[in-house]
Amino acid sequence: MKAIRTIVNACATTALLAGCASGLNRSKEQAINEKVGIVVHSAHDGVELRLQESALFDFDEATMRPESIVVLDRAAVLLKRSTRPIMVEGHTDNVGTLDYNRTLSTARANAVADALVARGVPAARIKTRGIAFSEPIASNATPEGRALNRRVEILVKTETEETLLGRVKKK
């Protein structure tokens, strides 16, 4: 009986979330994300939210900047639209040793995870890891590329953009 109740509750939650997502205005959602500096896109195993270091941390720091509040508030709104597992990954540029950057990237991932939990995202859904500089998205040969590589990525596993942002309007 308990197993059936759990399944029914899960189905009801999924239906509720799907219904809520369908009422979202995707253009408006994307505009809000752009304004606060969050890039949302499909990833190989779900949906990824990319947050740049400059919006969250000072260079070479793992303590959240006061200006990060708006970014974290928005990320929490998006993440609470889903019930799927979340992986928070910290990334760095290649300045410094691998050990140092792994420690920094892990500390940043943990800081973001803690901030999300403080905003109502269930801790049980969140895992963290520090990637250091092993997965760059730009060249580390330029200051601009290094800045892009310093980021936190939040992967909502097995999720769709539709749940977080709403449906794409057909023309």
pLDDT tens column, 17-27: 444 545 899 99
- 92-99 — which CB contacts under 8 Å span 24+ positions? 92/131, 92/132, 92/133, 92/149, 92/150, 93/133, 93/136, 93/140, 93/145, 93/146, 93/147, 93/149, 93/150, 94/133, 94/136, 94/140, 94/146, 94/149, 95/140, 95/146, 98/132, 98/133
* Of 146, 147, 150, 156, residue with least CA distance to 130: 150
170 within a domain of the structure (yes/no): no
Amino acid letter for position 63: T
2 within a domain of the structure (yes/no): no
Domain that holds residue 110: 26-165
66 within a domain of the structure (yes/no): yes
Query: Which domain CATH number covers 136?
Result: 3.30.1330.60
pLDDT tens column, 120-150: 999 999 999 999 999 999 999 999 999 899 9
pTM of the complete model: 0.83
